[in-house]
Structure formats: C-alpha cells, structure tokens
Amino acid sequence: MSETILVVGGTGMLGEPVARRLQADGYRVRVLTRTPAKARARFGPGFDVVAGDVEDLPSLAAALRGCDGVHVNLAGGPDPDLEHRGTANVAQAAARAGVGRITYLSGASVFEENCWYPGTRAKFQAEAAIRQSGVPYSIFNATWFMESLPKLVRGNRAFVFGRQPHPIHWVAADDYARMVSRAYATPEAANKRFFIYGPEAYTMREALTRYCAIVHPNVTVTSMPLWLAWIIARLGGRAELKVVLPFFRYCEQVREGGDPSEANTLLGAPTTTLEEWSRRYV
C-alpha cells in the first residue's frame, strides 16, 4: 500500500505544488486546512482533505493518524510567530504519532544572525523545534520562488521596493516540489538542511523585467525607494504594503546563504529557467 503524507498548508501557493507532486509520485496525500470545503473544490476527489488548525492540537493528532510523513508549508501573515508555534505543534504531534519524516519549507537566509527579522526568527525557531522533536527531517531552505514575481505586478506597473541589489537564484515551485517528493524516497535525505537554488541568478529588478517582457509586455517595471513606499502605504491606507515593506527592507540587507550542492546531488538540481517558467503563462 502507498505511503500517506499529510501536507499542512497544502492550499498555499507553495504547498499545493508539493501536494500535487507527491500525489503524482504515488503517495496518498492528505491536505490539512482551516477551510476544507474550498480545498475539496480545488483538489478534487484524488486528495483526502481534512479540517484542522496548527493551533488546535486534537485536530493535528487526528490528521496525522496513519501518516508516514508530514510536509509543513506555513505562513503566518501578520503573526510571523504562528509559523514557529504551528510547526512546533506539528512536529510534536508527528513524534507522538510515530511519523517517519517531516519536511518543512524554510528560507535561504535563515541563520541565527538574521533573526532580528521576525519572519526569519520564526523559521529559525521552527527548524529548532523540528530537530528537537526527534522525527527524521528534511528542511528546505529555499530562495525566492519565481511564483512570487506575479505578486509584484499591479495594473500596468511592476514594483521593486527598495534597492534589492543582491542576485537571487530564482527557483520554480515545480522543481522544488519534485525535490521534496524525492526526499521521502531517499533515506540519506534524513536529518539534513537543503539549500534550494534555481539555475540562474538575477537581481529582483532583472528577474521582474525578464518576466514582464514575456508575460506582461505592456507593464513598466518601476523601482520605488522604501521611504516613498512607506509614505504611500501610510497615506493610502495600503495595509498589505505595511506587511510586505519590512520584508523588502530585510531583503535589501540579507543575501542567500548556504550551499545548494548537496541538495542538487541527492535530490536532483532545479533546471527550470526564468524564461521557460514565464513562457508557461503566455
């Protein structure tokens, strides 16, 4: 009988490709969500959708019953520590349920020295909670996903907030999802942190310009200084900007870290270029 993997946050932008890839690779996939009706409509009958909340321990225990693995894809939005609390709850429940592997999407800049930023601190503490649980783990320290680029387009403008001078190895979610699935079938992938980088490095402005040239040829890429974006956020009541601007300030200062070679050797390197990925949307 095939193994069952619970995907916490399987409805997320980066959780859904993992859920679908695991299912395509022959795993039985259970998706945990706070809104099961919506998820059932999206995933269809090939997936087992269960109601649950990472802050509700009984719901986690029930969802993990009979599971061989659990993948965690969490975003706390305005409450960054949710990712830490929720992942710790999942890891403890997974240990009690005798789950054989936990996989978790962290970030490529998650190091102790960057924990001054709350989102990074939550991920750093989530990783620690996973290690402390004793459940064999594979942690994915992924860089920026190409899937983030469409979110920077608004009307006929695409915005880069701040200077964003650092090159980024943009990765496609499908490549990452394949690597997560491969980790479940690879015993040597246990108890490792994997740095996930795509094949090419571009600054944020370069990547956005390339993406827009193919998918949104009428869109103008605009760099906006952070101070001006803050004024617009305050005067225009743009609540979503107030959440993302601190992240852009963080990205101005912090680079990708780690070495992707072990991930590439064990799990197969990402191959999708930004141009190939963008052409899927034309």
Ligand X SMILES: NC(=O)c1ccc[n+]([C@@H]2O[C@H](COP(=O)([O-])OP(=O)(O)OC[C@H]3O[C@@H](n4cnc5c(N)ncnc54)[C@H](OP(=O)(O)O)[C@@H]3O)[C@@H](O)[C@H]2O)c1
What residues make contact with ligand X under the rule CB under 6 A?
8-9, 11-15, 33-35, 53-55, 73-75, 82-83, 86, 105, 107, 142, 144-145, 148
Backbone angles phi, psi at 222, to 5 degrees: -125, 130
Identify which of residues 199 and 218 has a Cβ nearer to ligand X in the complex: 199
Identify which of residues 228 and 245 has a Cβ nearer to ligand X in the complex: 245
Name the residue with the smallest CB distance to ligand X. 12
Partners of 49 in beta bridges: 31
CA dihedral 256→258→261→265, nearest 10 degrees, is -100
Shortest Cβ 235–ligand X spacing (Å): 27
Alpha-carbon distance of 193 to 261, in angstroms, equals: 11
Identify which of residues 165 and 217 has a Cβ nearer to ligand X in the complex: 165
Shortest Cβ 201–ligand X spacing (Å): 14
Identify which of residues 74 and 207 has a Cβ nearer to ligand X in the complex: 74
In contact, 82 and 74? CB cutoff 8 Å: yes
Shortest Cβ 168–ligand X spacing (Å): 9
Shortest Cβ 54–ligand X spacing (Å): 4
Alpha-carbon distance of 188 to 164, in angstroms, equals: 36
Shortest Cβ 105–ligand X spacing (Å): 5
Amino acid at 127: E
Identify which of residues 1 and 274 has a Cβ nearer to ligand X in the complex: 274
Amino acid at 172: A
Instruction: Dump the DSSP string for 199-244.
Output: S-EE-HHHHHHHHHHHH-TTPEEEEE-HHHHHHHHHHTT-HHHHHH
Shortest Cβ 71–ligand X spacing (Å): 11
Identify which of residues 144 and 202 has a Cβ nearer to ligand X in the complex: 144
Alpha-carbon distance of 50 to 103, in angstroms, equals: 19
Alpha-carbon distance of 87 to 107, in angstroms, equals: 14
